[in-house]
Chain A
Amino acid sequence: MKTFEEKWTAWLDGRLSGRELIEFESSLPDLAAAEAEKHDAHKLGAFLKKELGAQALSNEEFFSHQLRERIARETDDRSNSGGIRSTWWTIPRLVWSGATALALFFICAVAIMRQHQPGEQSEYLTQILKSQVDPVANPNATISIFESKNDNKVTVLWTEGLQTLPADYAAK
């Protein structure tokens, strides 16, 4: 018990005893006034009990009857909807639903992955052509083409290991 309100309520309802009671009563500035208020609170309690305690349910049997009907109706509704659900959700349907959901998931995943290709990390689309130009003269030559993705259409040709250019390249 901590607050004054709690102590007061306990005192009023006769729940304080021994040292607690002595301590609380000695802490009150006017014990006589507090006793008068206690008496007044008891009067209020008795008055409320007398005036409100006799409220009767006018038609008890009808109340129970109506309640029984309502419970029966709600129980029926629940079992009916449960029954429909159990016949609809058969195992083949569940399997098919699962398979369809999985297929949809993969289609969506592939579509999303295509939209987010790592090409966005570089400005160029790299295409490495591992073609060998005149394998006798340039046995290890590779050609790479870097192409700009934007409208500039810049293309860079990167060659490596090329020792001689083919004769027809010079002409072009």
Chain B
Amino acid sequence: MQTETTPAQADVSELDLVKRCQAGDSEAFDQLVTRYRTRVFAMIYNMVHNEQDAWDLAQDSFVKAWKSIGRFRGKSSFYTWIYRIVMNVTIDWLRKRQIKAGGAEFDDSIQLKEIEPASKTVPKADPLPHQRMERGEIRARIDKAIAQLSPEHRAVILMKEIEEMQYHEIAESLGCSIGTVMSRLFYARKKLQNTLRDVYENV
């Protein structure tokens, strides 16, 4: 998993930063946040499809991580640990919202924002209006398809396909067995293949 680090930051090992955090050094925590904020935000955004909600949930996740960093024993990597917090916060939020919405799997109220396609590591080129529209439509189809998955299935497919995490890392992040991860991945893929086939076949 790649992280956003400057060469100077890369010198400082993650474990050192965690130890400093555990001693109450908020600056060390700030460095950890810098390393993971974009990935955490993107992961949450892909699950909730709303920028403001993703921002708030990412903030909540980091605050929770800061409060409980004393309990981090280093048995897993820090990113697996933080992803576990992120997943708990996001899945809880999605479940609560699903209950409020009367148990509907797909919420039409989700606002499909215009997505900035380029990350800061990719040279930016403004797309033409028709390209932007096309991208927006594709993104809307993907968001709609993902929103039809349960929060757990969403988490598994995004961690595997976007984050390229290993089965055991996903299992640790979600607090379930590797078998469960593989099974969820099977169903999530099948569902997305059925709903998105016409889109990715034609792109």
Q: How many residues of B contact A (CB 8 A)?
A: 49
Q: How many residues of A contact B (CB 8 A)?
A: 37
Q: Is the beta-carbon distance between B197 and A40 smaller than 8 angstroms?
A: yes
Stretch at the interface among B6-14, B37-45, B101-109: B37-45
The CA of A53 and the CA of B58, in the complex, are separated in Å by 17
The CA of A2 and the CA of B183, in the complex, are separated in Å by 10
Q: Is the beta-carbon distance between B34 and A64 smaller than 8 angstroms?
A: yes
The CA of A134 and the CA of B96, in the complex, are separated in Å by 89
The CA of A44 and the CA of B192, in the complex, are separated in Å by 8
**A6 and B38 in contact, given A41-B189, A41-B193, A47-B196 (Cβ under 8 angstroms):** no
Q: Which residues of B contact A60 (CB under 8 A)?
A: 34, 37-38
Q: Is the beta-carbon distance between A6 and B119 smaller than 8 angstroms?
A: no
B161 within 8 A of A: yes
Q: Is the beta-carbon distance between A52 and B63 smaller than 8 angstroms?
A: no
Give, as a whole number of angstroms, the nearest-CB distance from A62 to chain B.
10
Q: Which residues of A contact B162 (CB under 8 A)?
A: 48-49, 52-53
The CA of A95 and the CA of B63, in the complex, are separated in Å by 38
Q: Which residues of A contact B33 (CB under 8 A)?
A: 64, 67
B138 within 8 A of A: yes
Q: Is the beta-carbon distance between B161 and A49 smaller than 8 angstroms?
A: yes
**A66 and B59 in contact, given A6-B183, A44-B200, A47-B203 (Cβ under 8 angstroms):** yes
Give, as a whole number of angstroms, the nearest-CB distance from A158 to chain B.
73
Q: Which residues of B contact A1 (CB under 8 A)?
A: 179, 182
A149 within 8 A of B: no
A and B contact pairs by CB, cutoff 8 A, 8 listed: A9-B189, A40-B193, A43-B200, A44-B200, A48-B157, A53-B162, A67-B62, A71-B26
Residues of A at the B interface (CB closer than 8 Å) are 1-3, 5-6, 8-10, 12, 37, 40-41, 43-45, 47-49, 51-58, 60, 63-64, 66-68, 70-72, 74-75
11 more contacts with CB within 8 A, not counting A64-B34, A71-B63, are A3-B183, A9-B185, A44-B189, A44-B192, A44-B193, A44-B196, A48-B142, A57-B38, A66-B59, A72-B26, A74-B63
